Amino acid sequence: MRTTNLLALLSALSISFAFASSPALSAAQCGNASWYALTSRTASGERMNPSAMTAAHRSLPFGTKVKVTNKRNGKSVVVRINDRGPFIRGRVIDLSKAAARELGFVRSGHTAICLARV
């Protein structure tokens, strides 16, 4: 019985370590961001709200909060992942229009950013 419990514990720890060491979840990720303002449903099932502080990311779990910093002006915002994307090479996140406005890049449509899990 003790051996079985120890094996189960070691297995759980190795799984936890694998998730914690995943670069998409623990390290800062830099690249380009764009914004979108649709009124359709997101991949998480909620309706897209251009006024909310939300974003699309390819792999972060829904509900994850990330701090996104505009590398061109230093402005930052915290957004919640509720959708999947972006599907354009070189882009790491698609932000709601409200988040893009806070970061100061609505007019240009895209900007260089870094993001980190909060």
Is 99 exposed, middle or buried (CB count within 10 Å of its CB: 0-12, 13-18, 19+)?
buried
pLDDT value, residue 22:
41
pTM reported for the whole predicted model? 0.77
Other beta carbons within 10 Å of 23: 8
d(CA 56, CA 44): 10
Token pair for 84: 């999947």
Can you point out the beta strands (E) in the chain?
Answer: 29-36, 54-56, 65-70, 76-83, 91-96, 110-117
pLDDT value, residue 26:
60
- Which domains are delineated in the chain? 27-117 (2.40.40.10)
Residue from 81, 71, 91 nearest 118 by CA: 81
Token pair for 103: 């970061």
In order along its 118 residues, the chain shows pLDDT tens digits of 444 444 444 444 433 333 343 445 467 899 999 999 988 999 999 999 999 999 999 999 999 999 999 999 999 999 999 999 999 999 999 999 999 999 999 999 999 999 999 9
